[in-house]
Amino acid sequence: MSEINRRSFLEMVGLVGGGAALYQVMTSMGMAQASAPKPLKLEGSGQGKTVLILGAGLAGMASAHELRKAGYDVQILEYNARAGGRCWTLRGGDEYTELGGFKQRCEFAPGLYINPGPWRIPYHHYAYMNYAREFGIKLEVFPQVNYNAYIHRKSGTKVRLREPMADMQGHVSELLAKAAAGGNALGSEVSAQDRERLLEALRGWGFLDKDYRYSKSLATSAVRGYEEDPGARLQPGVPSTPINLQTILSERLWADLTTGMLYEFQSTIFEPVGGMDAMARAFESRVKPMITYRARVTELSQNADGVTAVYEDLAGGGTKTVKADYCICTIPLSILSQVKLNVGQELEQAINKVPYAPSFKAGVQYKRRFWEQDDTIFGGISYTDLPIQTISYPANNYLSNGKGVVLGAYMFGPDAVRFSGMDPKARLQEVVRQNAQIHPQAEKEFDNGISVGWHRVPWTLGCYGLYTEETRKTDYPVLCARHNRLMLAGEHTSYWNGWQEGALLAAITAVEEMHKFAMQS
């Protein structure tokens, strides 16, 4: 099953069976087991042994942090002039140059930022939580589901998330109640006693009246929202009119209701206060003396005695060679496949078989927080079938005056490639134009913005490792295995693709395995 098909399948499971059914399916697929609940503890000392780590993203720095605690002599080679990899935050004054030479400067107001890479942390990502606790990183809640945000369609339909949520639940409950009441289509699947229980459950779950109908009323409005909200004293509220089932189905309004049901998006979800790079900065402050920045690895080889890397010093120092007893390589496969390798044919073939997903994000600064002031949307995500796909609202500084930054677009696939192919100015113009189809205030209130097309990012050439059912079966085990003195680590050696948790778990397991091998040596 491809990554895209897998997600669609899981969304349908969640819609039909709810969170419990979804968790069971994900567990059977190897996706929902709890990650490392306890911090890593290594027995034995690595004193006198050297480890070379390639890449100072979270996987590389976590590996260095743990190995240093065990006494190893660690050196990290990092392509960029900063650490963190895809754990990246753009703030006012930052500059970024992508492939093709497009250079952008972030002009956000002080205190505002956008996270071009990871932007959410599920509560069950224990490795991340353990390090956040160890480093004292402050977290705030990220509202994945905001029922007052919008679902928008190119046809012009724009509804609050709560409306089709309640209406889909109500209409389907009414249909099932009719079948249950008449015994129709249920046959021997449901006993007479369970049929009565089912009817009782459907009446409550689907907000049905005494005749098991889902209709316009104060009771259904208490779920889907009112035409006019209840007021003081004698104003009970004016009921709203449900969306008919045909519209929900023809406009596919149900499709955006399932995201919050997925295990990876269930509450509580967090983000670090002040920007996602808080974890990267915490690691970097601890391992910075080990990092050689602006080092582009061009060759990697190993033999029975150790590992050798050749790198170009991009600061003007020419070509250099470094050797170590062991190596943990966290370079993305999209980049590693371009490095001259002599690490074993099986591993080299597997490295070449995994493409990286194209993805595009745009951070847009507006002159005022109109989504709060005009639309009463505080955090969360609006969904659309326009190419921009989502608008995510800031989960902090609520009710503040002045400017605000939204994630104005987050897309994958062909649309991501198309937008990334535009020059940065044209990208922002189109993002804001599409934002304005959901929020008409957008074009008037636009201030500035910045965008990142991930397959044009020189040091990763894509968003995350994209596996198929076949490559998961044949190549993934090879990529995860230790190859003598070399192991790979990163989100691509995890089932948590594209998540920081995947990078951290991959680092922890690589360190455990390499340490075990070193102790046996």
Same topology between domain 97-148+267-271+357-454 and domain 162-256: no
Architecture of domain 34-78+291-354+468-520: 3-Layer(bba) Sandwich (3.50)
pLDDT tens digits, 262-285? 999 999 999 999 999 999 999 999
Nearest one of 170, 83, 77, 514 to 325, comparing CA atoms: 514
pTM: 0.90
| pLDDT for the residue 193 | 83
| pLDDT for the residue 213 | 96
d(Cα 484, Cα 305) in Å, to the nearest integer?
10
Band of pLDDT at residue 209, cut at 50, 70 and 90: very high
| pLDDT for the residue 7 | 52
Q: Tell me which of 3.40.920.10, 3.90.660.10, 1.10.10.10, 3.40.50.720 is the CATH number of domain 97-148+267-271+357-454.
A: 3.90.660.10
Nearest one of 222, 206, 202, 214 to 147, comparing CA atoms: 222
Q: Is residue 187 pLDDT above 90, yes or no?
A: no
What whole-number percentage of the chain has pLDDT above 90?
Answer: 86
| pLDDT for the residue 177 | 92
Would you list the domain boundaries of the chain?
34-78+291-354+468-520, 97-148+267-271+357-454, 162-256
Cβ(249)–Cβ(56) below 8 Å: no
Q: Which amino acid, residue 83?
A: A
User: Is 117 part of any known ligand binding site?
Assistant: yes
User: Is 100 part of any known ligand binding site?
Assistant: no
The CA dihedral of 9, 359, 248, 439, to the nearest 10 degrees, is 160
CATH class for the domain made up of 162-256: mainly alpha
d(Cα 64, Cα 311) in Å, to the nearest integer?
19
Give the other-Cβ count within 10 Å of 144's Cβ.
21
Band of pLDDT at residue 121, cut at 50, 70 and 90: very high
One-letter-per-residue 3-state SS of 384-400: ECCCCCEEEECCCCCCC
pLDDT tens digits, 282-322? 999 999 999 999 999 999 999 999 999 999 999 998 999 99
d(Cα 321, Cα 328) in Å, to the nearest integer?
16
What whole-number percentage of the chain has pLDDT above 70?
Answer: 92
Task: Work out the burial of residue 111: count CB atoms within 10 Å of its CB; fewer than 13 is exposed, 13-18 middle, 19 or more buried.
Answer: middle
d(Cα 214, Cα 252) in Å, to the nearest integer?
20
Cβ contacts of 236 within 8 Å, gap of 6 or more: 218, 230
pLDDT tens digits, 58-106? 999 999 999 999 999 999 999 999 999 999 999 999 999 999 999 999 9
d(Cα 516, Cα 43) in Å, to the nearest integer?
9
Cβ(293)–Cβ(275) below 8 Å: no
The encoded tokens of residue 257 equal 């209701």
User: Is 119 part of any known ligand binding site?
Assistant: yes
User: Is 297 part of any known ligand binding site?
Assistant: yes
Length of the chain: 521
Query: What are the Cα distances from residue 330, in Å, to 60, 263, 323, 418, 500?
Result: 6, 27, 17, 29, 13
- Burial state string for 237-254 with b = 16 or more CB within 10 A and e = fewer than 16: eebbebbebebbeebebb
Q: Which amino acid, residue 350?
A: A
